Amino acid sequence: MKKGFVYCIALLFFYCKSDTDKKVNYVPQSSGNINHVTVVMNEKDWNTKLGEEVRAGLQKIYEGLPLDEPEFSLVYMNPKAFTGFARQNRNIVWFRKDSLDGFRLTQNQFAKPQILATITGIDSESQAFYFNENAALLRQTMFENERKEKLRRIMKSPTNENTLAKRFGIKLTYPSAYKTFKDTTNFVWIQKEVQKGHLNIIAYTLNENILEGTFNERILNIRDSIGKVYVAGRLDGSYLITERAFRPYFYRTEIDGKLSYLTKGTWEVANDFMAGPFVNYMIQDTLNKRMLVVEGFVFAPTANKRDYMFELNTIINTLKKAD
């Protein structure tokens, strides 16, 4: 009962605050790297149990990467430094000592867009309780905040390509830095160069009944067969396949209101030494009697992959029918 009460109060305050913000004349633009969170608390608490609880709660492993990376990168800040420009960070978790215990979410308090979580309590034990009770809500709220911010940045310079519309009647919102790399009858490959690597989006269609029955292994076999035909490696006879040593993650989800099968895992190249993460969506398009597949994968051997995969996920989830 206590947990539910805190949860409801947090949501109520969050949405009421959103309405209130419309009346505010001006707040500065928020700042910060994507998927970064500022944590404000006493230094002693940061280096002991409360800090450990926060790191455990906000740094869950980002699924589907070849090496572990956290969902959020945390930046510690001493309360004495939490003034002025420091309050313009986009995601802030603020721990304050107070006789009134609780958890509160506010939007656009010091900057816009911004999520501010304030956890109060008489001591660190009380603060840890309210943080842990609401950690899942906090992660979900910040994740959505970051998705919107990433999309806002993409819209500063969106592509004017219409390859996907011509081939499949769909539209994705992605930056103009992505260019069509391959365009065949039933396969489109879009790519963006990054430092010592590239980000990739591929799309193709399949028979609408191809996933009848047990779908997990079938999805992986389909990926491998498509990779063999369309995604060649650097060496003769090499091609993209699924890394089977690490079990992928499988989910049912929705994109554009359509049932979708989401797979996150690691790709590798048969007969070569290349690998990286991928995210694959098989979308049930009953109107067109087909299974539409849109996948993103990263090749960047010397770089962290989380933010690259976050970008690809954000792009793929903009999918909609072309105008």
Task: For 68-92, write each residue's pLDDT tens digit.
Answer: 999 999 999 999 999 999 999 999 9
Q: Mean pLDDT for the chain?
A: 92
Confidence at residue 6, expressed as pLDDT on a 0 to 100 scale: 47
- How far is it, in rounded angstroms, from Cα 164 to Cα 117? 40
Confidence at residue 16, expressed as pLDDT on a 0 to 100 scale: 47
Q: Last residue of some domain: 154, 185, 205?
A: 154
pLDDT exceeds cutoff 50 at 12: no
Examine the domain organization and report whether 143 and 174 are in the same domain. Answer: no
pLDDT exceeds cutoff 50 at 260: yes
Examine the domain organization and report whether 249 and 294 are in the same domain. Answer: yes
For the ranges 33-42, 148-157, 265-274, the lowest mean pLDDT is seen at 265-274
Model confidence at 212, in pLDDT bands (50, 70, 90)? confident
Examine the domain organization and report whether 129 and 13 are in the same domain. Answer: yes
Count of the separate structural domains present in the chain: 2
Q: Last residue of some domain: 154, 178, 203?
A: 154
Share of the chain above pLDDT 90, in %: 85
Examine the domain organization and report whether 104 and 206 are in the same domain. Answer: no
Mean pLDDT of 200-224: 91
Residue from 108, 145, 96, 84 nearest 13 by CA = 108
pLDDT tens for each residue of 168-194: 999 999 999 999 999 999 999 999 999
- The domain of 210 spans 163-321
- How far is it, in rounded angstroms, from Cα 222 to Cα 224? 5
pLDDT exceeds cutoff 90 at 220: yes
pLDDT exceeds cutoff 90 at 165: yes
pLDDT exceeds cutoff 70 at 14: no
